[in-house]
Amino acid sequence: MSEQLSLKLATQKAELLEEHQRTTEQAVHDARAALRRAWYAALEEPRALAEHFKRRRGVDVREHDEKARELTLGLLERIRSEDLYLEPLDPARPAVGLRIVDPRPQRAYEKAQAIAEQAHREHDEFAEEYGKMLRDAQDKADIREVQVALKGSDPDALREALAGIGVGGREGPEPATAWTTQ
């Protein structure tokens, strides 16, 4: 009874660890996708500022300067409030321009990656400790399935049971076409 209980618990834990691995891998995938799109989120204010400078002709200088300052302060406030920062597009030529960087997607990606690595380690440690017991139990279940199929009279059930243990799989053409000639 104790062996059956520990086998059942080990099987359940193995399933949970595998599900956790799949979930963390999906989280890494999602975080990587968000990281690739991170540049887009910081475009709203700079785009408005660029549009303002495109429409500069025919606008009163004072009005232009006030609007440019308002847009610039709005951008700076967003950088401050959202914990963004500015990065030179080309450090060797700083006059080329600046890029607004949001570090949160990178942090989220690194965190998701660390969690996924931990999930893989836990799975591997569990597999190392309980893998033989789980494989032996699966082997016994496969043998029972073959024994039941042998007692029955269904060739398909026997083929399926044997295929479950890696025996008797057919390769090549089906028997009906194996002996045809051209």
What pTM was computed for the model?
0.61
Residue-level pLDDT, tens digit, the chain, 182 residues: 466 668 888 888 889 999 999 999 999 999 999 988 887 766 777 888 888 887 766 778 888 889 899 999 999 998 999 889 888 989 999 888 888 888 999 999 999 999 999 999 999 998 888 888 888 888 888 888 888 888 888 888 888 888 888 786 555 455 554 444 44
Tokens for 48, please give them: 């408005």
